[in-house]
């Protein structure tokens, strides 16, 4: 497996982020059309209508833990540490983000969301352990 394969999970996460932007736009547009929100509400984003609140929260979530994912993937690539297990863990992280996002923007049930978050959290932690071992062995 090529080191470059680490970029596919990164691209898959980018697709998820773009999908969340499209979804929030659609839900906000619908909220304005149905009268449950005004366009002016989105200027300072203080009041999010219920229709798009979960999407906004999920979108913010895509820029929290995933920052460590993207930087970790890049560091693994640069240090030639994108071994098959690291790539597999990257896919686990991204797929857990997709499942987490789905639950977040639909039922938003913590009972289902939390295990998906923990799965991604642990996969990402394991990726950073691989990176640390690569650094340890290099120096």
Q: For 4-15, how does the pLDDT look when each residue is reduced to its tens digit (9 = 90+)?
A: 999 999 999 999
| Percent of the chain clearing pLDDT 90 (strictly above) | 90
Domain that holds residue 57: 3-19+50-138
How many structural domains compose the chain?
A: 1
pLDDT at 53: 94
Residue 42 lies inside a defined structural domain of this protein = no
User: How confident is the model over 26-54, as pLDDT tens digits?
Assistant: 999 999 999 999 998 888 888 899 889 99
Residues 6+ apart with CB under 8 A from 96: 116, 117, 119, 120, 123
Q: Are 53 and 112 in contact (CB under 8 A)?
A: no
Is a pLDDT exceeding 90 seen at residue 55? Answer: yes
pLDDT at 3: 94
Residue 126 lies inside a defined structural domain of this protein = yes
d(CA 77, CA 72): 9
d(CA 94, CA 98): 6
Between 62 and 1, residue with greater pLDDT: 62
Residue 83 lies inside a defined structural domain of this protein = yes
Show the DSSP H helices in 35-109 as ranges.
41-44, 50-61, 65-78, 84-105
Structure-token pair, residue 131: 């990176």
Residue 92 lies inside a defined structural domain of this protein = yes
Residues 6+ apart with CB under 8 A from 87: 1, 5, 6, 8, 9
Residue 33 lies inside a defined structural domain of this protein = no
Average pLDDT, the chain: 96
Q: Are 36 and 50 in contact (CB under 8 A)?
A: yes
């Amino acid at each position: 497996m090529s080191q470059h394969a680490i970029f596919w999970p990164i691209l898959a996460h980018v697709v998820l982020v773009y999908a969340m932007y499209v979804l929030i736009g659609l839900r906000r547009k619908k909220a304005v059309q149905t009268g449950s929100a005004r366009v002016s509400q989105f200027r300072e984003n203080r009041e999010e209508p219920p229709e798009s609140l979960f999407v906004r929260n999920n979108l913010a979530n895509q820029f929290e833990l995933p920052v460590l994912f993207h930087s970790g993937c890049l560091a693994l690539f640069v240090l030639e540490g994108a071994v098959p297990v690291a790539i597999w863990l990257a896919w686990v992280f991204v797929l857990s983000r997709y499942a987490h996002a789905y639950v977040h923007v639909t039922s938003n049930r913590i009972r289902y969301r939390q295990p998906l978050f923990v799965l991604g959290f642990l996969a990402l932690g394991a990726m950073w352990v691989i990176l640390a071992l690569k650094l340890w062995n290099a120096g």
